[in-house]
Amino acid sequence: MVGDSFSAAPKVGDDYKPWYLQVADQLNMNCENHSLIGVSQDWCFWKLAHHFKDITADDQILIVLTHPGRFWYFDDKPQMTNPNIVNIDKELSPEQMEAVKGFMLQIQRPPLDIQMLSHRLGWLEAQCRVRGLKPVQVLCAFPLYIKTEYDMSDHINWTEYEYVKISKGDLLNCVETPEMKKGVDEYELWKGYDCRYNHMIKSNHKILADAVVKGIQSNEPIDLVSPDFVKGVLSTTVFDDQDFIQTELEPFAITARKKYLETQFQKPWAETSGLFNIWKNRKI
C-alpha cells in the first residue's frame, strides 16, 4: 500500500489498528504500508515502482491516491508537496520556497496535473497487465478531477480500465468533511492539527475497512458513496469530552495539539504568502 495521511501509520507504540490493518485482518493478509503524511502522487508511484519486482499475483496493491496538484519538489523532502502544509516554510530554504512559489504561479496548472495523473494510471494499468497481477484498488483521498477550461474527457476515462479500479467517491467528501457538525469549519476546529487517525473517527475506520474489503473481494471499485458513514459529530466540544476522545480520536494527538497551539501554531504558508488570494482571483 502507498498513500498519504489518509493511510499513514500511527506513531510508534500506538497499538490502535487503523482501517487498513482491519482490512488486512479480514482478508487474512499482511499489510506492507509505504504511506507518508503529505506525499504526492509522483512519490507514491515512484515508491510503488521500486517494489513491483517483489509483488506477486497473490498480492493486492492498494493505492490511496492523493490530490493531483501535489508535487514532489525536492528529492529529500517528499512530504513537502503543497502550500497547505503549515510548516513548509520551516522545512525548506528561502531559495527553495521561491522556487516552489514560482512553479505554482508560473508553470503548474490543472490540465497538466490531470494529464500527469492520467499517465500514471495508464502506466499502472500496463504494469499490472504485463506482470499478471491482480487489479489495483485505488482509494481516492480527494476528487481526481480539477476544474479546467479544457476538454479532458480523453484523460479521465478511468472507468474503462481493467486493472485499475477507481473508487466511487473520495475520502475527503464522503468521510472526513461530513464528520463536522453543520456550520463547523474543519480548519477552525483543528487549526492545522487533526486529532483523528487518518482524518476520520474510529467508527468510520470500521465502516471504511468493510467497504474496502467488499471492493477487493468483488473485484469492483471501492464504494465510498453507499456506506452509512457517521456524520455530524465533530465540534469544539470534543476537546472536553474524554469519553469521545478515547472512543473516537487519537488521545496522544489531543495533548500534542494543545502544546502545538501554545508554542508552534502558524497559519498555512499559502495564506501568509498570498497564494490563496492569487488563486481566488484566478478562480482556481
Distance CA(225)–CA(173), nearest Å, equals 9
Q: The C-alpha cell of 189 is what?
A: 476546529
Mean pLDDT of the chain: 94
CA separation, residue 203 to residues 91, 133, 145, 231, 249 (Å): 34, 32, 28, 10, 10
Domain boundaries, the chain: 19-282
Q: Can you state the angle between helices 202-218 and 19-27, rounded to 10 degrees? A: 40
Q: What is the rounded distance in angstroms from the CA atom of residue 105 to the CA atom of residue 278?
A: 9
Q: Is it the case that residue 72 has pLDDT exceeding 90?
A: yes
**What local confidence, expressed as pLDDT, does residue 278 receive?**
86
User: What average pLDDT score do residues 138-167 get?
Assistant: 90
Rounded to an integer, the average pLDDT of 103-109 is: 93
pLDDT of the residue at 282: 79
Q: Would you state the pLDDT for residue 75?
A: 96
Which residue, among 70, 8, 18, 2, has the nearest Cα to 270 in the 3D structure?
Answer: 70
Cα–Cα–Cα angle for 38, 44, 50, rounded to 5 degrees: 140
Q: How far apart are CA 134 and CA 217, in angstroms?
A: 11
Residue partners of 116: CB distance under 8 A and separation at least 6? 41, 42, 68
What's the confidence (pLDDT) of residue 157? 86
The confidence score (pLDDT) of residue 172 equals 98
Kindly report, residue by residue over 205-255, the tens digit of the pLDDT.
999 999 999 999 999 999 999 999 999 999 999 999 999 999 999 999 999
**Predicted pLDDT at 274:** 86
What pLDDT score was predicted for residue 236?
A: 94
What pLDDT score does 46 carry? 97
Tens digit of each residue's pLDDT (9 = 90 or more) over 194-219: 999 999 999 999 999 999 999 999 99
pLDDT at residue 232, as a whole number: 98
pLDDT of 95 > 80? The answer is yes
- Sheet harboring 136-140: ordered strands across? 62-65, 136-140, 164-166
pLDDT digits (tens, 9 = 90+) for 270-284: 888 888 888 888 776
pLDDT tens for 21-67 read 999 999 999 999 999 999 999 999 999 999 999 999 999 999 999 99
For range 108-134, the mean pLDDT: 95
User: What does the alpha-carbon distance between residue 249 and residue 242 come to, in Å, rounded to a whole number?
Assistant: 10
Least confident of 77-81, 87-91, 126-130, 225-229: 87-91
Which residue is associated with the grid cell 471499485? 221
CA 153 – CA 141 distance, rounded (Å): 21
| pLDDT over 70 percentage in the chain | 100
Q: Can you tell me the distance from the alpha carbon of 207 to that of 221, in angstroms, rounded to the nearest whole number?
A: 16
